[in-house]
Chains A and B, each alone.
Chain A
């Protein structure tokens, strides 16, 4: 009799757990390092993988008991350059690599591109934490005038 009651108690608890509303899909993006651009020796490339590696890094935390989040990585834009810079032939590109820290995630990788790319992250009954390592570069056969250059890449987590 007692064993039967205990069995019922477990079933009731399990049923209650199933009925409890799952946490809503939520996303957190945390920038860890912004990354730094450096010039190549022939002055035709400014990049975070030129003369060393100083990428931008981010950590994403997803609570995914139900749902898939999409991460968009937009093409970089140039936000600052010196007055004498000739941007006519320039190309801006981003490359990234996403790897799981915690949870099931196959990873995502993108070679240098000048367009917006996306990858999906789906969790199975658990949260998911992964890091994204981004590298930006500006290619310009005309070279770069002395001064400060900055790029901006928008990374968006959305449903």
Chain B
């Protein structure tokens, strides 16, 4: 039954495309993530994309979950990146977690560096790290 095999192949390709397609032209992905860490630091790998039709430099700014308040104890590598149109790159964000609170949520905002116009577009994600093991 070649027609059925073709149908299955078409379905498989369509499924693959449906899952893979959103990876293109993203400014920030994922927008939200949480994870457990055995230490007092938690790291996430995020994908930053350039959806513009020109070469752009983006800056990554760590903020409190209100998306306004600057925070400390966060390292982003790289914190600034220049990309060709349509390209994406991965960054690593690492943040400290207070031993007493054992959990921390941060926000990370991506914005164009040199966009000095009346509208500033930002895409922000929210990331939570939890220390594993018993509290104390």
Task: List residues of chain A with CB under 8 Å of any chain B CB.
Answer: 2, 6, 9-10, 13, 17, 20, 22-31, 34-35, 37, 56, 58, 61, 63, 65, 67, 69, 72, 76, 127, 134, 136, 150-159
Please report the C-alpha to C-alpha distance between residue A127 and residue B29 in the assembled complex, in whole angstroms: 14
Please report the C-alpha to C-alpha distance between residue A30 and residue B52 in the assembled complex, in whole angstroms: 6
Count of A-B residue pairs with CB < 8 Å: 129
Q: How large is the interface on B (under 10, 10 to 19, 20 to 34, 35 or more residues)?
A: 35 or more
12 pairs, A vs B, C-beta closer than 8 Å: A13-B11, A20-B19, A24-B30, A25-B29, A27-B31, A29-B122, A31-B121, A34-B119, A63-B29, A67-B31, A152-B119, A159-B125
The 4 A-B residue pairs with the shortest CB-CB distance in the complex, in nearest-first order: A63-B22, A24-B30, A34-B117, A26-B29
For B15, the chain A residues whose CB sits under 8 A away are 13, 17, 20
CB distance from A156 to the nearest CB of B (A): 5
CB distance from A115 to the nearest CB of B (A): 14
For B109, the chain A residues whose CB sits under 8 A away are 156
Task: List residues of chain B with CB under 8 Å of any chain A CB.
Answer: 1, 4, 8, 11-12, 15, 19-23, 25-33, 47, 49, 51-52, 67, 107, 109, 112, 115, 117-126
Interface secondary structure of B, over-half rule: mixed
Interface secondary structure of A, over-half rule: strand
State whether B22 touches A26 (Cβ < 8 A): yes
Closest to A56 in B: B119
For B22, the chain A residues whose CB sits under 8 A away are 23, 26, 63, 65, 127
